[in-house]
Every structure is written in C-alpha cells, then in structure tokens.
A and B are shown apart, each in its own frame.
Chain A
C-alpha cells in the first residue's frame, strides 16, 4: 500500500501535505480502497473556516456516504473542482489529482501532532 513519507496522516485516513502555512488534504490509498468506487464528491467552499476534526467534505461510494474531516484548523483557500466532475480521481490518484482541498493553517502545531507514514502504516496494519 502506497503511503508517501512526505505526508502527515490523520487516524481518520486523511493525508496532509504542508507547504509553508498552507496544507493540502486528501484521503489515503487505503481509504479509497476501503470506500470502493467513489461516485460523488463534495469539496468544501473556499473561505469556509474549519476546525481540526470537523467535517470538511463528503465523498460517496455506490454503497455509502463518508465524511472527510479536516486534519487541521484554518480557512479553506482552494477546492478541487476536478473531483466533483470526476469523483473516480479519488480512487485512481488519491495522493495526486484526487486532492480535496487546500487550507491556510491557523495553528501549525496541529500538523506536528498528526501521524507520520510509519505510524499510519502501523495503524492500518500494513
């Protein structure tokens, strides 16, 4: 299972890429495999403030809807319109074209509290 070393991970299976005070958020390869065919994605509106652990987006597979939690607090500064048009990008490229939103971090210390790749690998038993 692909778990990039450069990312931080939430126990709820979101990944976070930190670049300065900006974070990019998506779901892991493990999460998309568990969710199966994703047929609907609703990324958050730009400008929306979110707290760490709050629901920021929803993705739905044929069988179930799943909440996507923001791993950190801040303001949404970009949303990936491409996954709205083609939700299968979340399955085919979860760490790349399947990103969900970008957030301006209000408290960078929250990112440090997330898991590294090794810890997340242990969590998913892989």
Chain B
C-alpha cells in the first residue's frame, strides 16, 4: 500500500521500505541527521499510513469508555489522550490517541498495522446509538515535530501554535491540527483529506521542516521510552506490565480487560517493561537480543538502538520484578559478547 505522498518520498530521495504492508520512507538524508533535526530544529513525518476512526452518537463516550483504558468521560472536547485497546485478558490489542472533537464525537488514530484488527474488534462490540466509521483511506496525516515546529505552524496558519499539549482543533472542514506526537518534542500533527496531502506536505517543507523517515521516528520514540505496538506491546502483556498505568483508569466502570488489571494491581506484576542503558562502548542494541542478570539469561530486548542523542546503547525489555528497579545491573548480548549496563529511570532522554 502507498500513502498519497509516495511519489513525493521517491522524488526527494526517500529510501522506501516495507512497514506493515506500506511502502514507507525509512530515511531521506540519513537517520542521524533527521533525528538531530527533530531534536534541534524541526522535522516532518508522513504518518498517513496510520488509521483514522470516527465514533459518533449520544452513546459514544460511554461506548469508548467500555473499550479503552483511559477515561474519556473526563476529557474535555478539544483535547486528546493516549489510551489502550485491550483483549479480554488485559493484553494489548493496540495503543492509540483518542481526540475528543465534540461532546459526542471522537477521532481515534491507530497503528497502521492494526487498522483491520482494531476495526473488527470495535465492530464486534458495536452498540446502538453509536456510529463507527473506519475512514483511514480518506485521510492523510503529517507529524511536524521539534523545537521550531511553532515557526512552521505560524507560517502555515498565520497564528501561534497552541501552547498546550494534547489539544485538537478543526482548521477547515475535515482537517484538524493537534499538539500531539511521538518524539518527545514540541510539535503538532495535521490530519487532512488525502486529496490535500501533497500540497500540505510541500507547504510544510517550504516552511523549513526537514523530511524524516520511520528510522528517525523509531530512535526518537525509543529515547522517550514510548512503546511501539508489535515490539514492546503485545497481547501477551498488559499495560501495567508495560509501565502504562498512568493511562489506565481502574476506577471507572468496566472496560474490557479491566478485571485482569485489577487482579494484577493486587499482587506483584509478573514482569515490567524496563529501560536498559549500556554503559560501555557497544554495537547498536536491537530487538530480541538476550538480557543477562547475574550471568543468567532472563529475557530479551523488545526494542533497541544506539541512541543518537546519548551516544550509547539503549533498549526496552520485560524483566521480572526482582530485577526491574533502576540501578539493577544487566548485560546485553551482541554476537556472543556481553555489554554491561543498568536498568535506568524512564525516559532515556530529557531535554536539557
């Protein structure tokens, strides 16, 4: 599959790879350069492969609150929240952002790889008084991220970027800007009809944003310890195990998977997604590398990188509770050699 910007990516030298069935740019000028652009100035990502679902009707809030972990009843219109869709055992189907467009109207932006599965799950749990529409193919989306994103916003819209994080507003019919993102930087996401994607993309580049691919998107999100579904999140792990308890409301009236989470909360979590930092010179850490504690293999990494901002190996891994506290010594194996590090507090990267 291709986004409406496929030809733009090719024309600008984007290196195209397969991502969940989508032909997407992994990089343009280079992952390190693009990563730095987002941390120091401004980058733009094509995120049109992600899914856009619309939920509407008098029962929309209650219905979504019965399916998602966070509390939408408490979210004012014009705001967005990170939330999770769980199976009956509390395992993660998907993580997503829910945008409250109006009192009874929501936009859900879901992972590209999960559009079909999420839509099927939501349809399976359909309720009277609520309409659900998967309009993913109708929309394109751009993520404009970095300390200079406000300058880009100003030149696009002739006014300052909203100062608050996680707000959403309709700019023109069927177009929204939202101060959300996946990089840890200031910035906004721009959801537009697919037909307007090329002109929007060109305007963002003319305003000074550096085109960025999925490679930099991955290193940026990992430095912030934002999980990637399919790698760090899966049906085998609950959001509590993934350290996402902040986005789970155990007090609200039941949502699918809530019972398992309540039980987990009573006892000791079986494992916890931890941030691991290597403290000697090492190759880049990648997913599925073995993690050792006291000389014994205890788990494997779910994500990893050589952090462009920090210059050291970083990874996420599910560790048993006995080994999950910051300061815990660990080793990660790369090509039969082990490299020493520690469990550290999340995130890896903090703005100076």
Seen from chain A, the residues whose Cβ lies within 8 Å of a Cβ on chain B are: 36-37, 39-40, 42, 58, 60-63, 65
**B335–A58 contact, CB under 8 A?**
yes
Beyond A36-B15, A39-B306, A40-B306, whether A60 also contacts B283 by CB under 8 A is yes
Q: Which of A36, A37, A42, A61 has the most CB of B within 10 A?
A: A37
In the bound assembly, the distance between CA atoms of A63 and B214 in angstroms comes to 11
Closest 7 CB pairs of A and B: A62-B31, A40-B283, A37-B32, A37-B30, A39-B306, A60-B283, A60-B284
Nearest chain A residue, comparing its CB with the CB of B15: A36
B222 to chain A, nearest CB (A): 11
DSSP class of B's interface residues: helix, strand, loop or mixed? mixed
Chain B residues whose CB sits within 8 angstroms of the CB of A37 once the complex forms = 30-33
Decide if the interface of chain A is mainly helix, strand, loop or mixed: strand
> Could you pull out 5 A-B pairs where Cβ atoms are within 8 angstroms?
A36-B30, A39-B306, A62-B215, A62-B308, A63-B31
Of B15, B33, B219, B283, the residue contacting A42 (CB under 8 A) is B283
Q: Does B26 interact with chain A (Cβ within 8 Å)?
A: yes
Cβ-based interface call for B305 (8 A): yes
- Given contact pairs A39-B306, A40-B306, A65 touches B31 in the complex (Cβ within 8 A): no
Say yes or no: B305 contacts A62, CB within 8 Å.
yes
Q: Which residue of A lies closest to B286 (CB)?
A: A65
A66 to B286, CA, bound (A): 13
B27 contacts partner chain A, Cβ-Cβ < 8 Å: yes
> In the complex, which residue of chain B has the Cβ closest to the Cβ of A91?
B30
A88's nearest neighbour on chain B, judged by CB, is B32
Whole-angstrom CA separation of A34 from B8 in the bound complex: 21
Q: How close is B152's CB to chain A, nearest CB, in angstroms?
A: 25
- Which B residues from 122 to 161 make CB contacts under 8 A with A? none
Chain A residues, Cβ within 8 Å of B283? 40, 42, 58, 60, 65
